[in-house]
A = this chain, B = another copy of it.
Amino acid sequence: MTTPGLAAGIDVGGTKILGVVVDAAGRTVAETRRPTPRGTPALIDDLVATADELVASVGAVDGIGVGVPGLITTAGTLRSSPNLPGIERLDVAGELATRLARPVAVGNDATCATLAEWQLGAGRGVDDLVLVTLGTGIGGGIVTGGRLVVGANGFAGEFGHMVVDPNGLRCPCGRRGCWERYASGSGISALARNDALAGGLSAVVERAGGDAALVRGEHVQAAALEGDVDALDVVDQFARWVAIGLANLTNAFDPAAFVLGGGLAVGADVFLEPIQRWFTATLYAPEHRPHPALTFATLGEHAGAIGAALLTR
């Protein structure tokens, strides 16, 4: 016996493939995961296996969606993906449709997460919102006027490579001063290591096992939560960079809310006040406008897979 309204969603991450089945009410009724393999044939095989497993676990589904990191065309071709080395110009939608003998919806992973948080998570009921995932890098997605924005090619929401300092830090993408050099997990880690290698941040270095070179964002967060002044200073520098990007996005989109996701949104309490303070200092005409709400994603690591399922509707 099968239930109508079920949809399968699969999120391809840099390290794992996470699959879910979502019912008509948005509840997750099945889940599976496996490591992300290397190379195109193995990736397609594992996506097929994940889809088969999900379908078998519930009997049948009305649709299958897949979220993939990188530049994904609206037709479901992966153009380029820094998180999936060696995979380029892959017709994900076409390959899967052939193997599974049914249409498969394919979208960018952050766009999927945006859809999920908007319809079922922190952004429910908000017609104008911007999702920003602060993880190793920065991804994002946009809803304006109650509609998901995908752009002319499907590439909208690549906020991480917004240039915020043209003479700033080198980015692996080849440019300088991309937002994700500063406002991501890598960004806060780099800020902290700078201070630590210069002999500061003793409480943070201690949490990194005494090695300044191993200092990461989570050590800063932990020390800041306990009120360590040096850690709070790093948090403040980091918050300024986050706020600069959020203010730029507000000037452009005028959202009613931001949904912040990604690894840094866990334990986000320590960031909220300084981000809000710097945001007000950076936004154009802050006294003449309502400020967007800063909220945190509620669907956690499942957002991408749930959103991929919602893509099919």
User: Which residue numbers of A lie inside 8 Å of B, CB to CB?
Assistant: 71, 79-80, 88, 127-128, 142, 144-145, 147, 149-167, 173, 175, 178, 240, 244, 247-249, 251-256, 281-282, 284-285, 288-290, 292
Contacts and interface: CB of A to CB of B under 8 A. Distances in A.
Contacts of A167: 165
Contact of A244 (B144, B166, B173): B166
A282 B163 contact: yes
Contacts of A173: 284-285
A249 B247 contact: no
Nearest to A182: B166
A165 B176 CA distance: 12
Number of copies: 2
Contact of A288 (B71, B142, B150, B152): B71
Contacts of A80: 285, 288
Contacts of A244: 163, 166
A109 B71 CA distance: 34
A307 B16 CA distance: 49
Given A147-B147, A152-B256, A163-B247, 5 more contacts: A71-B288, A144-B149, A156-B253, A163-B248, A175-B284
Contacts of A178: 284
A292 B152 contact: yes
A285 B156 contact: no
Contact of A254 (B150, B161, B254, B292): B150
A284 B248 CA distance: 17
A252 B157 contact: yes
A176 to B, nearest CB: 9
A175 B164 CA distance: 14
Contacts of A162: 248, 251-252
Given A151-B128, A244-B163, A251 B282 contact: no
Given A161-B284, A288-B71, A252 B147 contact: no
A248 B162 CA distance: 5
Contacts of A147: 144-145, 147
A281 B161 CA distance: 12
A88 B287 CA distance: 12
A247 to B, nearest CB: 7
Contacts of A79: 285, 288-289
A280 to B, nearest CB: 11
A61 to B, nearest CB: 27
A239 to B, nearest CB: 13
A166 B278 CA distance: 12
A153 B253 CA distance: 10
Contact of A155 (B156, B240, B282, B289): B289
